[in-house]
Amino acid sequence: MSCSSVAFLVVGSRFKQLMGAFSFSDLISRLRDCAAALPDSRKGANTRFTMADIALSAFSIFFMQCPSFLAFQQSMQRQKGRNNARSLFGIEKIPSDNHVRDILDPIEPEQLFGMFDEVYQAYGDCGLLEAMRQNCVNNSQLIALDGTRYFSSQSENIHCPNCSCSTHSNGTTTHYHVAITPVIVAPGRPEAVALKPEFIRPQDGNEKQDCEINAGKRWLAQHAEQYNKHGAILLGDDLYAHQPFCRQVLLHGFHFIFTCKPSSHVHLSRWIDELDREPELQSLRHRLKNRQTNQFATWSYRWANNAPLTEESDALKVNWCEVIQTGKGGKVLYRNTFITDLEITEQNVAAIVASGRSRWKIENENNNTLKTTGYNLEHNFGHGKMHLSSLLATMNLLAFAMHGLLDHCDAHYRLIRRTLVTRQTFFDDIRALTRYHCFASWIAMMDFMMKGLEIGPYESQG
């Protein structure tokens, strides 16, 4: 055997070690088990399609980022007698879009939440969660909360009992859906690990319309025990820097770092101004070089502990800090203020600010990605009369979570993604390949792509 052949086998062995505990087939197998257990509202003999086939048919559209995926596979089945819906997702019979919508409409999205637990556990097993904690203040897990809209319509005919609504001055009404989409983030890391969402929708017995803060409280109550085992810090924008919510965070054992705008926290701002005039605020300044721009910037910090969040006598005492980044000529590049329950010291103020700033990843790496890079979260894939819109949004979020896991645990997937650089190019290629060619398996498709890109190693499989 030649030296090059030996080297190829060694590299191939290394790639198999990198595959991790989860592969695409593992994920689909577990999702199929979950889908098979979904409640079936059908009566009589109208059960030609299994619940697993129906749910996986819907999910495949989001995973492949291709609204026409099922139509392409039905055409391939007629022409070639086989299709990628079956070989990749295990879908025995492809139902029509209308049938999928009708059968899924009564199913609440929480029925799929077990798959988020599977993905979260897989991230833990492969060591990513521990690696992300090492970049955070107090080696804690950072969980960013934010609400995002995933459906909106002014049509009188497209809405459901779970819609929120707003009436405008011109008399029109907008019906919409919003969900809190929590993600685990860390300073200096690109990952955004998607967790179980919480949907903003009318609650039984409540006369007022549901809101993001109330949804956040429900999320805390339901998931605190699971996500706070090793210590967790919640991140959020100014909306969450709200005394009742902060108290709930502490009640459930979390810490918090929330953006705190002076304009919406007048009493706290005045209290800080008084300290500044004394002066009693503590401060620190660093001059650092940005590795990407090769430019120096000055980071200035001010902070105070035990500051009253409100003017009430029972005001929650929080710790406040401000950061100002200035560049050449004193130009302000970044400025923000935060509140936290963590005591702020000269040793940890920079780490607290860096952790607080990681909140932007829920917008850039999560919400914006879901809306603008192929997931089309805001597109109306089907609204239904009960839970369809929320269930399909859950599948979309789950597809995003699975893509992230494969990017970390599946070496072949990761290598192709890095070679093609952009997410759009990767999925453009996937869409084209699966439209014209039937692959025996996901591994076979990855092998085909690696051969075409002349990257390796790859295995000779169908």
Q: Are residues 173 and 272 in the same domain?
A: no
Secondary structure element (H or E) that encloses residue 282, with its range: strand 282-289
Does some domain include residue 395?
no
Q: Are residues 77 and 185 in the same domain?
A: no
**Given a cut of 50, is residue 5 above it in pLDDT?**
no
456/449 Cα distance (integer angstroms):
10
Does some domain include residue 5?
no
pLDDT at 373: 59
Greatest mean pLDDT among 11-20, 132-141, 365-374: 132-141
Does some domain include residue 3?
no
How many C-alpha atoms does 359 have within 13 Å on its Cβ side?
Answer: 24
Does some domain include residue 167?
yes
The model's confidence at residue 248, banded by pLDDT at 50, 70 and 90, is very high
Tell me which residue of 343, 357, 321 sits closest to 186, measured CA to CA.
357
Residues 6+ apart with CB under 8 A from 254: 143, 220, 224, 228, 232, 233, 234
pLDDT in tens, 35-73: 999 999 887 666 789 999 999 999 999 999 998 999 999
List the structure tokens of 353.
């600010």
pLDDT in tens, 267-317: 999 999 988 777 778 999 988 877 777 788 899 999 999 999 999 989 999
Mean pLDDT, rounded, for 15-31: 70
pLDDT at 2: 38
User: What letter does residue 366 receive in the DSSP assignment?
Assistant: I
pLDDT at 43: 77
Q: Are residues 216 and 364 in the same domain?
A: yes
Q: Are residues 344 and 446 in the same domain?
A: no
Q: Report the interhelical angle of 411-420 vs 442-453 (nearest 10°).
A: 40
pLDDT at 3: 37
Does some domain include residue 404?
no
Amino acid making up residue 384? G
pLDDT at 8: 34
70/74 Cα distance (integer angstroms):
6
End-to-end CA distance of the chain: 25
460/34 Cα distance (integer angstroms):
32
Q: Are residues 365 and 221 in the same domain?
A: yes
Q: Are residues 222 and 258 in the same domain?
A: no
**Given a cut of 90, is residue 411 above it in pLDDT?**
no
Q: Which residue has the tokens 């009493």?
A: 267
The model's confidence at residue 13, banded by pLDDT at 50, 70 and 90, is very low
Q: How far is the CA of 435 from the CAs of 44, 69, 424, 439, in angstroms?
A: 35, 8, 16, 11
Number of domains in the chain: 3
- Helices and strands of the chain, counted as H and E runs: 18, 13
Q: Are residues 228 and 297 in the same domain?
A: no
Q: Are residues 119 and 221 in the same domain?
A: yes
The model's confidence at residue 174, banded by pLDDT at 50, 70 and 90, is confident
**Mean pLDDT score of the chain:** 87
**Given a cut of 50, is residue 429 above it in pLDDT?**
yes
Q: What are the b/e assignments for 74-86, b being 16+ CB within 10 Å?
A: eebbeeeeebbbb
**Given a cut of 70, is residue 154 above it in pLDDT?**
yes
The CATH number given to whatever domain includes residue 347 is 3.90.350.10
**Given a cut of 50, is residue 392 above it in pLDDT?**
yes
Mean pLDDT, rounded, for 195-208: 80
Q: Are residues 285 and 348 in the same domain?
A: yes
Q: Identify the domain containing residue 152 by its residue range.
A: 115-237+359-379
pLDDT at 365: 59
